[in-house]
Amino acid sequence: MAPMPSWRMASPHVVRPPLPDDPLAATGRPLRWGVVATGSIARTVSAQLRQLEDAELHAIASRDLDRARALAAERGAPVAYGDGARGSGVAQLAADPDVDVVYVATPHGHHHDVTVPLLEAGKHVLVEKAFTVNAAEAEALVALAAARGVFLMEAVWTRFLPAYVRALDVLVSGELGEVRWVQADLGFAAAADPRSRLWAPEDGGGALLDLGVYTFTWAHAALGMPASVQAVGHRSAQGVDAGHALTLTYPGGAVAQLLGSLEAHATRTATIAGSRGVLRTFAPLTHPEGFMVMTGDDRRREEVPHGPVPYAYMLREVTRCVQQGLGESPTMPLADTVATLRLFDAARAQLGVAYPNDRQA
Ligand SMILES: NC(=O)c1ccc[n+]([C@@H]2O[C@H](COP(=O)([O-])OP(=O)(O)OC[C@H]3O[C@@H](n4cnc5c(N)ncnc54)[C@H](OP(=O)(O)O)[C@@H]3O)[C@@H](O)[C@H]2O)c1
């Protein structure tokens, strides 16, 4: 018998996260945060982070001190680090005793190298998705966090949002019956800027790592980890996947089809189909504010808003876990992160996409 693919080892079930009425309300002692990078998502998340009652935004680190200072001033953080010679201000941030938790928001091709010194210094770390470019890098970070006894999580914010949690409740209720297939698509026409992280192999570019994390989140919620993956797509001139289609198969015959594109727009929805009914998320599936449930002739529309600070649900989970001394989130466990990257490693091999930093860490 052929050896079982290693990504089947992870749990197929998602642990329902506590869903706070107010994700900004304190759950314990204040945590002092640092942020690495000053790009698009670093700006968004740092603005939402400072709204948590028990978060103090202490420092911003950048490859450029002026950029760090500018964002720190905008966000009211007292400290800025940025010294290219010492590497993105990360070494200084790691050495700062007034930082408890760090949010890493560099392109994924750099997540491993940025996160290692932070974990070595005993910081808890929230790493943007995709967690790393491959499973070997992820396993190395997981082992290091365990050795240092610190919290580590991939920033899959979808898993903590009210609509996702409510969809889990529908799945668990049995209303859809046995889930037989999942279909999810996510795409947009990205500017053909060769400097963009989306196209740069050294940044971990391509649709799979950028968008596949989200489409797979919905397949995983309904069906868990697959038994096999077949991937087709095509590569950009730089060699990253400009678009992909993944077919996942599951024990018992269920299938999932996931589409991701950096060249075309998409419905940006996920459909979960079972023997009794269908659930279809609103767009965008990254942070939907509800879904439709269709059973027989009945159609039900559930509005499940996340409010004006949607990243706060994920940041609340990190805060709660660190306050409680947990090494990982039960809802976004590190085993799921590693298993997903093993799946993506297999898909990427079929797509013929390799990265210059695609090493076995
Ligand atoms: N959760 C979400 O909703 C969400 C949304 C978008 C992106 N993301 C994820 O967040 C990460 C960043 O995405 P983004 O859209 O913010 O990218 P971005 O706008 O290109 O910003 C990335 C930042 O990382 C820093 N950086 C760039 N190259 C680096 C390098 N070689 N070494 C160290 N730092 C480097 C830069 O900041 P400095 O110049 O200050 O060093 C840059 O501004 C990606 O992993 C992406 O998948 C998540």
Q: Which atom of ligand 1 is nearest to the CA of 61?
A: 40
Task: Output the furthest CA–CA distance in the chain (Å, rounded).
Answer: 65
- Tell how far CA 208 is from the center of its chain: 12
Percent of the chain exceeding pLDDT 70 equals 95
In a domain, 223, yes or no: yes
6 pLDDT exceeds 70? Answer: no
Examine the domain organization and report whether 119 and 218 are in the same domain: no
Examine the domain organization and report whether 259 and 325 are in the same domain: no
311 pLDDT exceeds 60? Answer: yes
What gap in Å lies between CA 292 and CA 4, rounded to an integer? Answer: 36
In a domain, 335, yes or no: no
Predicted model pTM: 0.96
Mean pLDDT of 285-298: 97
Mean pLDDT of 312-340: 97
Examine the domain organization and report whether 72 and 170 are in the same domain: no
Task: Give the mutation target among 44, 62, 63, 92 for probing the ligand 1 site: most ligand atoms within 8 A of CB.
Answer: 63
Domain that holds residue 216: 162-305+344-351
Examine the domain organization and report whether 283 and 326 are in the same domain: no
**Alpha helices of the chain — where are they, by DSSP H?**
40-49, 65-75, 90-95, 111-120, 135-148, 162-173, 207, 213-223, 311-323, 334-351
What gap in Å lies between CA 142 and CA 151, rounded to an integer? Answer: 10
Mean pLDDT of 230-243: 97
What Å distances lie between residue 101 and 1, 30, 47, 152, 315, CA to CA?
Answer: 45, 11, 16, 9, 11
Query: For tokens 């903590």, what's the residue?
Result: 160
Q: How far does the centroid of ligand 1 lie from the alpha carbon of residue 106, in Å?
A: 4
In a domain, 219, yes or no: yes
Task: Give the mutation target among 75, 81, 106, 137 for probing the ligand 1 site: most ligand atoms within 8 A of CB.
Answer: 106
Q: How many CA atoms lie within 13 A of 193 on its CB side?
A: 7
Mean pLDDT of 142-164: 98
What is the number of other CB atoms lying within 10 angstroms of the CB of residue 3? 5
In a domain, 253, yes or no: yes
Examine the domain organization and report whether 213 and 315 are in the same domain: no
Name the 3-class secondary structure at 143.
helix
Q: How far does the centroid of ligand 1 lie from the alpha carbon of residue 129, in Å?
A: 10
Encode pLDDT of 11-31 as tens digits: 346 888 889 999 999 999 999
Q: Domains in the chain: how many in total?
A: 2
The side-by-side arrangement of strands in the sheet containing 241-249 is: 228-235, 241-249, 255-261, 179-187, 270-274, 278-281, 290-295, 298-303
Encode pLDDT of 28-68 as tens digits: 999 999 999 999 999 999 999 999 999 999 999 999 999 99
Encode pLDDT of 164-185 as tens digits: 999 999 999 999 999 999 999 9
Mean pLDDT of 84-93: 78
Examine the domain organization and report whether 317 and 295 are in the same domain: no
The pLDDT assigned to 9 comes to 36
In a domain, 359, yes or no: no
Q: Are 318 and 326 in contact (CB under 8 A)?
A: no
CATH label of the domain that carries residue 239: 3.30.360.10
Query: For tokens 């966090």, what's the residue?
Result: 145
The pLDDT assigned to 194 comes to 81
317 pLDDT exceeds 70? Answer: yes
Q: Name the CA radius of gyration of the chain, rounded.
A: 20
In a domain, 358, yes or no: no
Q: How far does the centroid of ligand 1 lie from the alpha carbon of residue 60, in Å?
A: 13
Examine the domain organization and report whether 166 and 295 are in the same domain: yes
Examine the domain organization and report whether 238 and 287 are in the same domain: yes
One-letter amino acid for residue 57 of the chain: L
Examine the domain organization and report whether 114 and 184 are in the same domain: no
Averaged pLDDT score across all residues of the chain: 94
In a domain, 26, yes or no: yes
Q: Which atom of ligand 1 is nearest to the CA of 110?
A: 32
- The binding-site residues of ligand 1, defined as CB within 6 angstroms of any ligand atom, are 37-42, 62-64, 67, 88, 105-108, 110, 128-129, 155, 157, 197, 210
Percent of the chain exceeding pLDDT 90 equals 90
Examine the domain organization and report whether 34 and 146 are in the same domain: yes
Mean pLDDT of 89-112: 97
CATH label of the domain that carries residue 120: 3.40.50.720
Sign of the Cα torsion 215, 319, 54, 108 reads negative
Sign of the Cα torsion 190, 196, 200, 203 reads negative
What is the number of other CB atoms lying within 10 angstroms of the CB of residue 20? 16
In a domain, 125, yes or no: yes
The burial class, CB within 10 Å (0-12 / 13-18 / 19+), for 41 is middle
Q: How far does the centroid of ligand 1 lie from the alpha carbon of residue 90, in Å?
A: 14
Q: How far does the centroid of ligand 1 lie from the alpha carbon of residue 31, in Å?
A: 23
Encode pLDDT of 270-291 as tens digits: 999 999 999 999 999 999 999 9
The pLDDT assigned to 301 comes to 98
Band of residue 87 on the pLDDT scale cut at 50, 70, 90: low
Encode pLDDT of 323-333 as tens digits: 999 999 999 99
Q: Are 253 and 226 in contact (CB under 8 A)?
A: no
Q: Which residues contact 327 (CB under 8 A, 6 or more apart)?
A: 145, 146, 149, 150, 151, 152
Examine the domain organization and report whether 83 and 166 are in the same domain: no
Q: How far does the centroid of ligand 1 lie from the alpha carbon of residue 107, in Å?
A: 4
Examine the domain organization and report whether 262 and 297 are in the same domain: yes
